[in-house]
Chain A
Amino acid sequence: METAILQVFRYDPEKDQAPYYKEYEVPVEGTLLNALLYIKDNLDPTLAFRAFCRSEVCGSCSMKVNGKTKLACKTPMKELVETWKGKPLRIEPLNHMKVIKDLVVDIDKPIEKMKTLIPWLVPDPRVVPTDPMHESIIYPEEMEAYKDQIHCMLCFSCYSACEAVADNERYRGPFAFSKAYRFQVDRRDIETAKEKRIRYAISGGLWSCVQCQKCIHVCPKGVRPAEDIQNLRGQAVKKGFTDKPGAKKLKHFVDWIYATGQINRLYLPEEVYGNKEAREKLTKAYTEMGVEVWEVPKPTKGLMKFRDIYLEILSKEDKALDLDYSHVRKIDKMVSDIFKADICTIVDKAHEEGRSSRGLISKLKGLLGGQ
C-alpha cells in the first residue's frame, strides 16, 4: 500500500516546554482526515484534533498542510502527495489563535470578535411581519445578494491566513466581515442596525484589510471576504464615515506619526483634500522660507520603539484600530524607496528582536486588565 509521512505538530502546554513535530506513516487513501483518524486509531491515541461531520459541512477540521490552509475532510491524500511530490507533509494548527493542544486552537476569540459586528438579522418590522403566522415575502432574486456569504461555516481558515489579523490582533477577521455584510444587503434588516454595523466594522479594522485576497483563496466554501470588505468600505464611504476631511486628517496624522514619528506636512493636503499640486508648491514655498523640508522623514534607530509606545497610547484610548496598516505599509515603502531599504532593515531587526506590534498588543491587553 502506498504510504506518506505526516509530520504532525505536537504540543501539550501542560507537559511540553515547546512544540515539536512527530512523524507518522499513513496510507495514501481517502482524505487527510482519514489519515489523522488512522493515526489516532492505530498509531497514537494521544493526538488531538477536531473533526465531526467528516463531510465538509461542520468546519471543525481546518489546519495547515505545509503552510497552506486546508480542510482535512475535503483534502484527498492523493492530491497532497502529488502536489508535494513525496516530500513530508507538515501538519500544523491554524495561525493567529492560541494552541490548546496539538492541532486544536482556541476559537473563542474570533467568535467574540465576530459578535461585535452584529452578525445576526435585526428584523425591520415594516418588512418582517411580527405576526408569527404571516410570511415575509422574499423574491429569489433578492437572495442573490448574500448567496455566497451564507455558506460560511466558521472554519476560521480565512482568519488563519489573513494578513491584517497578523498585523493587528484586534482586526475582526475576514469571515466576520462577510457575516456582517450578509445582513447589510438583506432588505429585512433594519437600517439602524446596518448603520451600527458599519460603525463597528470601522472600529473593528475595516480599513486595515490589505486586500491580499488570501481569505478568498483559502475559503473551502466559496465565501469571498475580501470583496465583502470592499463592499462594506463602499457602504461606509456612502454613509459618509470616512469621506469627511476631518476623518481623513485624523487618519493622516495617526498613520504618519506611527510610520515615521512625525506628521508629513507635504502630503497632508494631498491625502486629506486630494490636492495633488500642493506638495510641489509647498516644497518650493518652504525652501524659499529657508525651512528644511523632506519628502519623507528618514527613519531613525529608535523608530520601532517609538511605534510601540505610540501604539500603547492609542490602545489606552481604545483607538489602536484607527491605524490603517495598508497605509503604513505604503509609507514604509516610500521610505525604503527613498532611503534604499533602510526601513526594511529596521523593521526586520525589530521582528528579529520579537518586538512585532502584534506581540505588544497582547502584552498591552494584559496590562490593561484583559479588555
Chain B
Amino acid sequence: MVELDYDIVIVGGGGAGLYAALWAAENTILKVAVMTKVYPTRSHTGAAEGGINAVLTHSVGDSPEAHAYDTVKGSDFLADQDAVDIMCKMGAAVIYDIAHRGVPFSRRPDGRIAQRPFGGASFPRTCYAADKTGFYILQTLYEQCLKNNVTFLNEWFLLSIIHNGERVEGITAWDIRNGGVHLIKTKAVILATGGHARVYWNRTSNALGNTGDGTAAALRAGLPLKDMEFIQFHPTGLAKTGILVTEGARGEGGYLRNKDGERFMKRYAPEKMELAPRDIVARAIQTEIDEGRGCGPNGDYICLDLTHLGEEKINERLPQTREHAILYEGVDPVKEPIPIAPTAHYSMGGIDADKLGRTPIKGLYAAGECACISVHGANRLGGNSLLDVLVYGRLTALEAVKYADEAPETNPSVAKAKDDEKRILELMEADGKEKVADLRKELGNVMMKHFGVFREEKSMREGLEKVMEIKERAKHVKVYDTSKKFNTDLITALEFLNLVDLAPAIAVPAIERKESRGAHARKDYPKRDDKNFLKHSVVKLKEDGTYELSWKPVTITKFLPEERKY
C-alpha cells in the first residue's frame, strides 16, 4: 500500500478547491495537494453561467448589509447570519482578486465590472462574464494554480476520511488512472467535492459526477450533515434533459408563459414577476403543470419566451442558452419559446461546518457546495453560490494553513485503506442481481416523485421506504470491470453507492420538517413555522445503519424573521 504524505489535502478541484489551493499555495510553504476525480477545469463550477453576486465599490445605493438582508430573506431566515455577514462583506475583495488574476468579467462602457439584476436581489449586483462566468473563473483559477506550481492528484477518487474522533489524520483514495487504494497521510483536509443533486438522477442540471462523494464520505466517517432536506429546484431546466437555461435568460427580460400564452408569474409574484427567487418560480411552474396549464402534447412543460429580445441581444447576452436550446431541445430561441421544467439544481444542505468552514473534527474543513455553513439556509439566491465557493475556499485555506502549521504529525492506520480495498473487491465479486444503471434511475425517480418540488407526509414516508429498499438492493450491484486502469465501471458504482447513502439523509429531515420553508414546500404544511422549525436539521449515520436526526439553533444577529414576499 503506497503512502503519500502532505500537510494539507484539498479534495476537489472546482471553484472552491482551486481557490483554496491558490490561497494556500501563496500563503504557506507547507505541502499542499489538490485531489480531484476529474481534471480541475472539468469540474462543475465550469457550468455556472449566470454570475456571481457582490457589492462592489461602484454599486450605487447597494451595501453589504442589503446583500446580507436579501440573502437571509432568500434563505427564508434559515441562514446563519454571522456567516452571511462574512460572505457579503468579502464580496468585493474576492471579485477584485479574481479579476486581477485575469477573470474576464463583462465591463460597463466606463471600464468597471458590469452587474445585472438577478432573482431575489434588491439591487443589480450580479457580476458576470458573458454567460460563462463559472467557466472563466475555473479556467483562470487553474491558470493561477499552474503559475503557483500547485501539486495536483488528477483523476483520484476520495474513498474515506480517517480521524481519531478528535482530529483528522488522513484519507484514502483510489487512483483512477493506475488503479489501487492509497493511504494518504495529512494534517488537514479541505473537502470541496461539490453538490449531490444527482440524487435526482435524470432530472438535474448537474454534471454526471455531482454525486456528493465528499458529503457521503463525511457521513460515513460519522460527521453530521446539515439541512439536507433543502434541494433547490431550478425553474428552468430544458424539458428533455434537465440541462439548465440560465437565470440570466429571465434577467435579460425573458417571459414565462403557460399553454394559454399567459405570463402566469403575475399570479404568484406580481411585482418581481419572472425575477422572483427560484423556489417561488419553480413552484409556480410546477403548479401550472400540475393544474393542467402546461404546454406540449403531455402538458409537462412551460415555455420560456425570449423571442421579443431579438437575435442580436440573444447572441450577445445569451449565446450559450441559444446553442443549448438548439442542440438539446431542437428549438431556436430567436424564433420559438424554449420548453422548460423544474430541475434539481443545487444542494443547500451538506457537511455541517461553522462560519469559518470548520467541521466538528479538527483539521477537517468543508467549502463550496458540499458544505453547509449555512449561508444559503433553505434557499440559495442565484449568484450566491459562486461567492460562497470563493469566500469559503479562501477562508478554509487560511484556516487550514494556520492549523497545519502547528498541528502534530498524524499517524493514520492502514485499517481503513484495507477496508476500502476489501469493499472494492467485494463489489467486483458481488452477485450482480441488481444493476447500477437501473437502480440509479429508480432512485432518481423516487426522489423526484416523493421529495421533489412539492412534498407531503404520506408520499414522503412511502418514498423513504422505497429509498431504504433501494439501499438494500444496492448490496447486490456488481462491478463487472475487474481491470485496474481507468475502471469507470467501478467509479460509477462508487458514485451510485454515495447517492444511496445520501438519499435517506435527505428524506429523514424532509419528513420531520413539518413546515414549508424555502425550497422545502409541503402541501400538508404550507406555512413556515418559526416557532417549531426555525432550526437546522442535523443527520448522522449510526453504526447500525440508521439515520439519526437532531436539531440545532440558527444564528440570528440582525434580521428577525418576517414573511417572505416578493
Contact = CB atoms under 8 A, between A and B. Distances in A.
Contacts of B140: 121
Most chain B CB within a 10 A radius of its CB, from A49, A57, A60, A123? A57
Contacts of A100: 177, 485-486
Contact of A52 (B208, B243, B437): B208
B56 interface: yes
Contacts of B147: 118, 120, 122
B248 to A, nearest CB: 15
B452 to A, nearest CB: 21
B156 interface: no
Q: Is the interface of A mostly helix, strand, loop or mixed?
A: loop
A91 to B, nearest CB: 15
A15 B38 contact: no
A1 interface: no
B144 A55 contact: no
Interface stretch (B73-81, B101-109, B344-352, B362-370): B101-109
A186 B143 CA distance: 15
Given A52-B207, A53-B46, A132 B488 contact: no
A185 interface: no
Contacts of B244: 55
A17 B100 CA distance: 51
Given A55-B324, A136-B99, A40 B488 contact: yes
Q: Which of B46, B97, B100 has the most CB of A within 10 A?
A: B100
A295 B111 CA distance: 59
Nearest to A131: B96
A33 to B, nearest CB: 9
Contact of B42 (A30, A55, A59, A151): A59
A225 to B, nearest CB: 16
Contacts of A143: 104, 107
Interface in B477-508: 479-481, 483-489, 492
Contacts of A294: none
A46 interface: yes
A120 B144 contact: yes
A140 B106 contact: yes
A210 interface: no
B41 interface: yes
B135 interface: yes
B39 interface: yes
A216 interface: no
Interface in B238-268: 241, 243-244
A28 to B, nearest CB: 14
Interface residues of B, number: 63
Nearest to B94: A132
Contact of A51 (B39, B208, B484): B208
A29 B147 CA distance: 43
Nearest to A41: B437
A40 B108 CA distance: 47
Nearest to B56: A135
B376 interface: no
A121 B483 contact: no
Contacts of B38: 50, 52, 58, 60
A135 B110 CA distance: 12
B143 A133 contact: no
A294 to B, nearest CB: 50
B186 interface: no
B486 A55 contact: no
A12 B437 CA distance: 23
A129 B135 CA distance: 24
A53 B207 contact: yes
A203 to B, nearest CB: 19
B533 interface: no
A14 interface: yes
A47 B486 CA distance: 10
Contact of B101 (A45, A104, A121): A121
Interface of A: 12-15, 30-31, 40-42, 45-60, 74, 76, 100-102, 104, 107-108, 115, 118-123, 128-129, 132-140, 143, 146, 150-154, 183, 186, 188
19 contacts: A46-B483, A53-B42, A55-B324, A57-B46, A57-B132, A57-B320, A58-B42, A59-B42, A60-B38, A76-B327, A120-B147, A121-B101, A132-B97, A133-B92, A133-B96, A135-B96, A139-B109, A146-B104, A154-B41
Interface of B: 38-39, 41-44, 46-47, 56-58, 92-93, 96-97, 99-102, 104, 106-113, 132, 135-136, 139-140, 143-144, 146-147, 154, 177, 207-209, 241, 243-244, 320, 323-324, 327-328, 436-437, 479-481, 483-489, 492
